[in-house]
Structure 1
Amino acid sequence: MVRTLKHLVEQAYSLPKDWLIYEHSHQFLQLTEKYYLELTQFSHWQTPPKIILAEREPVQFLAAFLAACATNSSVFLCNPNWVKDEWQQVFELVQPDIIWGMERGQRNSEPPLGIGVKGETRRQGEKETIFEFSDSPKIMIPTGGSSGKIKFAIHTWDTLTASVRGFTEYFQLQQVNSFCVLPLYHVSGLMQFIRSFTTGGKLVILPFKNLESCQLTNINPSDFFISLVPTQLQRLLQNFDFTQWLSQFKTVLLGGAPAWEELLVKARYYQINLSLTYGMTETASGIATLKPDDFRHGKVNCGQILPHAKVTIRNELGEALQTNQIGNIAIQAQSLYLGYYSLNTAFKEANYSSVSIFNTDDLGFLDNEGYLNIIGRSSDKIITGGENVYPLEVESAIRATAMVIDVCVIGIPDRDWGQAVTAIYVPKNVSTSSEEIQNLLKGKLSKFKIPKYWFPVQFLSRNSQGKINRQQLQQEAIEHLNLSNRFS
């Protein structure tokens, strides 16, 4: 549990001087103290302040985050690039006391009237009651953005460090060196800081767009973990220099979205030390991980369950299933979130927790070796003519034709079949027809799994984790189909 700023600063001072590798990294401790002093002016409040943290600059972000944790503040990690509607959601949900990272002229949306900025308070009339800066802070990590509705999963320093303990025990490490190209406001980026900071390892921060422009740092990749999403790995493997560089890393953690067979084959060909992972914001990152040795020997699942977690597979009635039986994935973990934030959320107990088992929407099974295999998502399942179709299987088969750059499979309402399997895809060649792709799928997929409708597009919009908003695509496909029928 976090005790005081002094404890955290002492931990930071005990790290090597070059533990944080990024421009202006020498300012980290000074900035942490600056943010802490800003927060001391609110020490007379009955409850800790609620902080929106949307700092673009990584050192500023980390310093502000650490100061917020040290003062037991409730900190909401936010994406500076959210648009007006998203910010309005956040402001209405959080009603923050402090906003760090956005000046009034830089925001896409003004906060509701009365919300403070840069230390301004909206609690002027509150009774002065001293609260102790000693309990575990509440860390709100955003999730759900791909569906259009932002939620915040509630974590604490304890849940995040429980994830670190499971990670280090699983990989048998004392220190974790991380090369971070993912956003720090997202759990996948934040956990790289937590792992390095709490184990005394190094942390390199390099935004992916800078990496793609060949701004490589002078470090030894064999000492580092790097985390990527599939679309990032695909881009890097298209450049021989990056392929050589990536193959030197100790481990390349791959998660955030399903990887396709062609990508995994290519990674194995180039001897990438790939480690497929399964986890989410609610579990403070990975709870199952495939070790690189298993990947090199041909396994393509999510690996075994990390020591701090337990996974069971359950049917629709909530009953536990046996090995190799497909069902919904249920998770118990020391790193499990405490629930989703709402304005009615009250933190009165230090060990507050309302979530003991997290029943996910994901479908999978545990095999005889205890490896977790993912089939797809229940909510993405397409029922056509009474048959179940899982988009992940169809997308993998379409990618295997090597005729598309990207693809997303959805179901749209159909009067005869209930739902019609539909593919929205980016062809590798503009002259490629859907008939050519369908011919290659014959014998690879059952007839009812082959998409009935095909919509070529120039690109598929994905978020920073490589996820697609399937609901939005479904609506666009329906509108396109209705328009086509109207003029046919």
Structure 2
Amino acid sequence: MEQPLTYLQNLPQSNWLITNNSHQFSAIAKQLYLELTEILKQHQTPPKIILAEREPVKFLASFLAACAANCPVFLCNPDWGTQEWQQVFELVQPDIILGINFNSHSPLPVGERSRTTTPNSPLPTPYSPQIMIPTGGSSGNIKFAIHTWQTLTASVQGFTEYFQLNQVNSFCVLPLYHVSGLMQFIRSFTTGGQLTILPFKNLETGQIPTIQPLEYFISLVPTQLQRLLQNPELTQWLAQFQTVMLGGAPAWQELLEKARFHNIRLAPTYGMTETASQIATLKPDDFLQGKINSGKILPHAQVIISNQQGEVLPPNQIGNITIQAKSLALGYYPHHWDNQDYLQVDDLGFLDNQGYLNIIGRNSDKIITGGENVYPSEIEAAIRATQLVVDVCVIGVPDKHWGQALTAIYIPQNTHISHLEIESLLKNQLSKFKIPKHWICLEDLPRNTQGKVNRQALQQIAAEFLHH
């Protein structure tokens, strides 16, 4: 795979980028690259760059210029709050901030910064810029997974080999600072494909660009898919895509069935920031034929299922998931992992006889109630299947009798639905100990841009509700 500097010097002049102001991409990238190389002549250490551009063209051009100049670049959400920005500034101590202006009323330090080498972070080798991608923001504790151009392009190689493609065209409605949005750029840019960028809210209001969906991949999170399927015109448009990638959060049975009913070529994926997006994907033909899992492992990765003693388990046995991949992050900034060959994740799952990966749930989400192990995803799926709720999340709250009491926080389909109706339908579906003890009705569940529920916020809501 070519290096970012080579890409910058040979930028395509064709219409590979389809979005507002796309004609500015080349000029912005080359100008910033020249400015950064001037700075590098005066300082031994490459400047640390915070990239928080809202404008997609400026974001991507700045990203490419920073990589080409071999500068550590930290991708940031411009909509983070003061507390999150303070965390980031303390951790990063940036030299350059691109995209967001902190005004004089901001408590955050801006202006000249000392240029110091970060501990445990040696100077990058030539053309191996460190790319820091944020993760963990929904819990309030932001971390940056350390990637390089090599780890990101390793993910692209696995993707193109798996789908047997030379060129990837991407339709992006996800944030570019997040791995799910960034990787759509990397896939298209490095394979000579097209990248169309449109804010999701524009798409939702019916602003469909004139592209050929059959030639494109689109990536969505479950809540986005749910909203598009509520609109018949957008449902018909979505059904024209070559592949509709689905990830970021677990999808529920009803949503998958609705997508299959409308012949959406869905590809549920499994991956994370630390693996530079998916390491397993269910191909659309498998999905349309009725398979429901995370698909087979991509060529650049391996998955091992083991028990708590570290023994590798045979097919169909649930255990801890360990990932080996060429796309693995090097660590969490500023620290590099001692062992970068594999990553043990918090998820539990199994590989079936055909090599398809099935995810059961997160180990840390496991609720122990009355001595029984319960996984929220199973209960949430059963509650959704009643078709009486719009959204639901199941958590465990401390309880002196049960250890943890199952608590369902839900949005009913309408105000007349009571939790007693939902409970009565669950009695035939779930064991008694799996039926929630507490029910809390809300108008909205706190979710991040990837559709993941903020369980920490729900724990506080539940504690206040049960206290009163």
Match of 1:51 among 31, 49, 59: 49
The AA in structure 1 aligned to 2:24 is Q
Match of 1:17 among 14, 17, 23: 14
Unaligned residue ranges in structure 1 (runs of 5+): 125-130, 347-351, 484-488
Match of 1:246 among 238, 249, 255: 238
- Name the residue aligned to 2:192: 200
Deviations 1:212-239, CA, capped at 9 Å, x for gaps: 1111110010000000000000000000
The AA in structure 1 aligned to 2:35 is E
Deviations 1:274-320, CA, capped at 9 Å, x for gaps: 00000000000000000000001101100000000000111122221
Deviations 1:111-140, CA, capped at 9 Å, x for gaps: 32xx44xxx55349xxxxxx9993310000
1:371 aligns with 2:353: no
Match of 2:69 among 68, 71, 78: 71
1:297 aligns with 2:289: yes
- Name the residue aligned to 1:401: 386
1:81 aligns with 2:86: no
Q: 1:133 to 1:30 in 2, by over 3 A?
A: farther
Equivalence map 1:60-459=2 (5 Å): 60-105=58-103, 109-112=106-109, 115-116=110-111, 122-123=114-115, 134-342=126-334, 345=335, 354-459=339-444
The offset of 1:37, in angstroms, is 1.9
Q: 1:97 to 1:325 in 2, by over 3 A?
A: same
The offset of 1:9, in angstroms, is 2.2
Distance across 2 between alignment mates of 1:178 and 1:433: 43
Contact map agreement 1:222 1:249 (CA 8 A) in 2: yes
Distance across 2 between alignment mates of 1:109 and 1:283: 34
Distance across 1 between alignment mates of 2:15 and 2:390: 40
SS of aligned partner of 1:465: coil
- Name the residue aligned to 1:8: 7
Distance across 2 between alignment mates of 1:475 and 1:318: 35
Distance across 2 between alignment mates of 1:4 and 1:184: 17
Contact map agreement 2:75 2:133 (CA 8 A) in 1: yes
The AA in structure 2 aligned to 1:468 is V
The offset of 1:188, in angstroms, is 0.2
The AA in structure 1 aligned to 2:166 is Q
Contact map agreement 2:94 2:113 (CA 8 A) in 1: no
Contact map agreement 2:3 2:149 (CA 8 A) in 1: no
Aligned residues with identical type, % of pairs:
67
- Name the residue aligned to 2:449: 464
SS of aligned partner of 2:49: strand
The offset of 1:23, in angstroms, is 1.3
Contact map agreement 1:254 1:275 (CA 8 A) in 2: yes
Unaligned residue ranges in structure 2 (runs of 5+): 117-122
Contact map agreement 1:54 1:101 (CA 8 A) in 2: yes
Distance across 2 between alignment mates of 1:109 and 1:404: 41
Deviations 1:55-89, CA, capped at 9 Å, x for gaps: 00000000000000001100000000001100000
Question: Root-mean-square deviation (CA), in Å?
Answer: 1.8
Contact map agreement 2:446 2:457 (CA 8 A) in 1: no
The AA in structure 1 aligned to 2:7 is L
The AA in structure 1 aligned to 2:64 is L
SS of aligned partner of 2:11: helix
- Number of corresponding residues: 462
The offset of 1:38, in angstroms, is 2.0
Q: 1:108 to 1:192 in 2, by over 3 A?
A: farther
Contact map agreement 1:406 1:425 (CA 8 A) in 2: yes
Contact map agreement 2:8 2:65 (CA 8 A) in 1: no
SS of aligned partner of 1:41: helix
Output the TM-score relative to the length of structure 1: 0.92
Output the TM-score relative to the length of structure 2: 0.96
Distance across 2 between alignment mates of 1:468 and 1:353: 31
Q: 1:372 to 1:4 in 2, by over 3 A?
A: closer
The AA in structure 1 aligned to 2:301 is A
